[in-house]
Amino acid sequence: MNIAILGLGTVGTGIVKIIEGANPMSMTADLHISHIFVRPEKVAQDDSDKLTSDYDAILNDDSVETVVEVLGGIEPAHTMIKQALQNHKNVVTANKAVVARYMEEFKQVAKENNVQFRFEASVGGGIPWIVNLERGLRIDAVDSVHGIFNGTSNFILDQMTKTGASFESVLKEAQDLGYAEADPSADIDGYDIENKLCISVDVAYDTLVHPGENLPKFGIRTIEAQDIAHFKDLGLVAKLIGRSELSGDHFSYVIEPVLYQQGVIEASINDNFNYASFHGESIGDLGFIGQGAGMMPTGHAVVQDILDINGQVKHLIRTLEKQFTIDNQFDKGDYIVRTTSDQFDSLTSNWNVTTDGKYKTVSDIDAASMHSIMKRVLASDDTAFMARVSGGAE
Ligand code: HSE
Tally of CB atoms within 10 A around 96: 25
User: Probe ligand 1: pick from 93, 98, 152, max atoms within 8 Å of CB?
Assistant: 152
- CA distances, 131 to each of 48, 68, 121, 128, 189 (Å): 34, 18, 10, 6, 27
Asked whether 72 lines ligand 1 (CB < 6 A), one says no
Q: Does the beta carbon of 206 lie inside 6 Å of ligand 1? A: no
Select from 192, 220, 302 the residue to mutate for testing ligand 1; criterion: most ligand atoms less than 8 Å from CB: 192
Alpha-carbon gap, residue 370 to 344, rounded angstroms: 11
Global pTM reads: 0.96
Break the chain into its structural domains and give their ranges.
Answer: 2-118, 130-291+323-389
Take atom 8 of ligand 1 and give the residue whose Cα is closest: 293
Q: How far is the CA of 192 from the centre of ligand 1 (A)?
A: 7
Among 150, 194, 197, which is best to mutate for testing ligand 1, by the most ligand atoms less than 8 A from CB? 150
pLDDT at 247: 95
* C-beta of residue 259 within 8 angstroms of C-beta of residue 231: yes
| Letter string b/e over residues 129-147, b meaning 16 or more CB atoms within 10 A of that residue's CB | bbbbbbbbbeebebbbbbb
Distance 217 CA to ligand 1 centre (A): 17
* Substitution site in 10, 122, 175, 187 for ligand 1 pocket (most atoms within 8 Å of beta carbon): 187
What's the gap in Å between 61 CA and the centre of ligand 1?
33
Q: Is ligand 1 within 6 A of the CB of residue 150?
A: yes
181 lines ligand 1 (CB under 6 A): yes
Q: 149 CB under 6 A from ligand 1?
A: no
Rounded to whole angstroms, what are the CA distances from 36 to 46, 49, 159, 267?
Answer: 12, 9, 38, 41
Q: Which pLDDT belongs to residue 153?
A: 97
**Separation CA 62–CA 160 (nearest Å):** 52
Contact 166, 224 (CB under 8 A): yes
Ligand 1, atom 4: closest residue by C-alpha? 293
Ligand 1 close to Cβ of residue 100 (< 6 A) = no
Q: Is the CB of 192 under 6 A from ligand 1?
A: yes
Longest dimension (CA), the chain: 69
For the Cβ of 125 lying below 6 angstroms from any atom of ligand 1, the answer is yes
**Cβ-contact 218, 212 below 8 angstroms:** no
Domains 2-118 and 130-291+323-389 alike in fold: no
Name the CATH topology of 130-291+323-389. Dihydrodipicolinate Reductase; domain 2 (3.30.360)
DSSP state of 183: S
- Check residue 394 and give its pLDDT: 46
Q: Catalytic pick from 196, 217, 239, 360? A: 196
Distance from the CA of 25 to the center of ligand 1, in angstroms? Answer: 32
152 CB near ligand 1 (under 6 Å): yes
| CB of 187 closer than 6 angstroms to any ligand 1 atom | yes
Residue 52 Cα, ligand 1 centroid: separation in angstroms?
Answer: 28
Full pLDDT tens readout for the chain, 394 residues: 999 999 999 999 999 999 998 787 889 999 999 999 999 999 988 888 999 999 999 999 999 999 999 999 999 999 999 999 999 999 999 999 999 999 999 999 999 999 999 999 999 999 999 999 999 999 999 999 999 999 999 999 999 999 999 999 999 999 888 888 778 999 999 999 999 999 999 999 999 999 987 789 999 999 999 999 999 999 999 999 999 999 999 999 999 999 999 999 999 999 999 999 999 999 999 999 999 999 999 999 999 999 999 999 988 999 999 999 999 988 999 999 999 999 999 999 999 999 999 999 999 999 999 999 999 999 999 999 999 999 744 4
Asked if 196 is an active-site residue, the reply is: yes
For 101, half-sphere exposure in the C-beta direction (CA atoms, 13 angstrom radius) is 15
**CATH placement of domain 2-118:** 3.40.50.720
Predicted confidence at residue 100, as pLDDT, reads 97
